[in-house]
Amino acid sequence: MAFAVTVNRERWRDHQDTVADAVRRSAGAPVVPVIKGNGYGLGQRLLADEAIRLGADTVAVGTVFEVDEVAEYGTYDIIVLEPFDPRDAFATDAWWRLGQQLHAGRVIRTVGSKEALLALAAGHGSVRVLLEAQTSMHRFGFDESGLLRVLADAQVRQAFAMGRVLVEGLALHLPLAQPADEVDPRGADLGTAKVREVVRWAGLWQAETEVWSGHNSPECRIWVSHLEDMELQAISNSLPDVVVRNRVGTRLWIGDRSALHASGTVLAVHPLPGGSHVGYRQRTGPKEGTLVVVSGGTSHGIGLSAPTPAASVRQRVVTAGTGALDAAGRALSPFRWAGKQRWFAEPPHQHVSMLWLPKGCVIPSVGDRMAADVRFTTSRFDAVLGLD
């Protein structure tokens, strides 16, 4: 049995190249591929190979626990997006073990608190860091006054001067959506809210780095995410002396969904009379329906979903309708057959799903592939096909 994704190699790589070229033109610097979590359903190792193909000098992972997997396959620098904090005991142990690895010097920590920066400043050796600004996301990072205070701290300044902490720039993790007006590539004044936010932070950072005295001053570089090409262009035009590095994950790897086709193998087909009880919970199905067992269950991400943002009236109506069906014991599966999305017979099992096909529907054979519309960031495939 196999729950697999088939990749149209030429189309997928053409899309990657288009995104990478657009970022380079807009920002004036190479794209920073994000290789985190489940590797967007394709796996971190595979994406690391693709980052090498793109000529990336830097990639980003989600946590310190993902570094070793990605470090093995390239010579690029590796940014860890989740901020380092010595109060996280388990992660601190992982950071200590990482420090014993040969690739430790290629790793760049994100730091978003005074406690973390002071802990590194008091340490031995040399570590590379990005300082995280608290953007309108309000997730991690220094606010403006906090950043200025920590940069003025005598212990921090000494650690910078002695090379114990090497600051590679300022990191800005931006929201996906924000109130915005039309982007004008001639400058930030007519740009979106995200453009204005980046320019404001970059101006503060540029002012700090320009007046820094002593050795090993912080780099006049900002690392951004979730920006459109026109927004990047507006920022670059407004900040000609600041290096802008754009981290891209979803858009780079799964931005062209037509290049990726998820599917499960049909494992069993059971035509059943009306009233038959099936599955763990012995539910009944439609009259004279056909029960189909297909590979793909909860271990693959089937049936798992994130809460909907419900930002529009239509989304709220759909969410309410879906909830009502779930409460009644009916749920649509992500599997499609004969042009329609099919109903679960019961909640998916760990490795397989059981589906109902109604009377009159074309019946699949064992071994057929059944397409699935899945969320790639929560999917785990048994096989990735088409890239050999």
313 band by pLDDT with thresholds 50, 70 and 90: very low
Reduce the DSSP state of residue 64 to 3 states and report it.
helix
At residue 319, the pLDDT reads 36
Q: Are residues 73 and 140 in the same domain?
A: yes
Which of 231, 254, 277 is the endpoint of a domain? Answer: 254
Q: Are residues 216 and 279 in the same domain?
A: no
215 band by pLDDT with thresholds 50, 70 and 90: confident
Q: Are residues 222 and 238 in the same domain?
A: yes
Query: Is residue 112 over pLDDT 50?
Result: yes
288 in any annotated domain: yes
Query: Is residue 309 over pLDDT 60?
Result: no
17 in any annotated domain: no
Q: What are phi and psi for residue 385, nearest 5 degrees? A: -110, 150
> Do 223 and 171 meet the contact criterion of CB atoms below 8 Å apart?
yes
> Do 105 and 143 meet the contact criterion of CB atoms below 8 Å apart?
no
Q: Are residues 244 and 287 in the same domain?
A: no
At residue 306, the pLDDT reads 60
Mean pLDDT across the chain, nearest whole number?
89
94 band by pLDDT with thresholds 50, 70 and 90: very high
Q: Are residues 247 and 126 in the same domain?
A: yes
At residue 315, the pLDDT reads 42
283 or 351, higher pLDDT: 351
At residue 107, the pLDDT reads 98
pLDDT digits (tens, 9 = 90+) for 136-155: 999 999 999 999 999 999 99
Residues 6 or more apart in contact with residue 100 via CB below 8 angstroms: none
156 in any annotated domain: yes
Strand 383-385 and strand 3-7: the pairing is parallel
364 in any annotated domain: yes
Q: Are residues 366 and 296 in the same domain?
A: yes
User: Which residues constitute the domain of residue 322?
Assistant: 261-373
Residue 316: CATH number of its domain: 2.40.37.10
Which of 254, 289, 316 is the endpoint of a domain? Answer: 254
20 in any annotated domain: no
pLDDT digits (tens, 9 = 90+) for 349-371: 999 999 999 988 999 999 999 99
Q: Are residues 250 and 268 in the same domain?
A: no
At residue 318, the pLDDT reads 34
Q: Are residues 237 and 279 in the same domain?
A: no
382 in any annotated domain: no
182 or 146, higher pLDDT: 146
* DSSP-assigned states of every residue in 197-266: HHHHHHHHHHHHHHT--SSSPPPSEEEEES--HHHHHHHHHH-TTSEEEEEESHHHHHS-GGGEEEEEEE
Q: What is the mean pLDDT of residues 271-286?
A: 86
Range of weakest confidence among 7-16, 173-182, 304-313: 304-313
385 in any annotated domain: no
CB atoms within 10 A of CB 83: 21
CB atoms within 10 A of CB 206: 17
* DSSP-assigned states of every residue in 299-354: GGTTT--PPP---SHHHHHHHHHHHHHHHTT--EEEEEETTEEEEESSS--SSEEE
41 or 123, higher pLDDT: 41
Global pTM exceeds 0.75: yes
Which of 254, 280, 299 is the endpoint of a domain? Answer: 254
Q: Are residues 209 and 297 in the same domain?
A: no
190 band by pLDDT with thresholds 50, 70 and 90: low
At residue 328, the pLDDT reads 34
Total tally of structural domains belonging to the chain: 2
Query: Is residue 166 over pLDDT 90?
Result: yes
Half-sphere CA count of 150, side-chain side, radius 13 A: 23
At residue 185, the pLDDT reads 53
283 band by pLDDT with thresholds 50, 70 and 90: confident
Q: Are residues 275 and 175 in the same domain?
A: no
At residue 143, the pLDDT reads 96
Q: What are phi and psi for residue 281, nearest 5 degrees? A: -100, 5
At residue 322, the pLDDT reads 38
Residue 163 DSSP class: T
Q: Are residues 221 and 311 in the same domain?
A: no
Q: Are residues 269 and 193 in the same domain?
A: no
284 in any annotated domain: yes
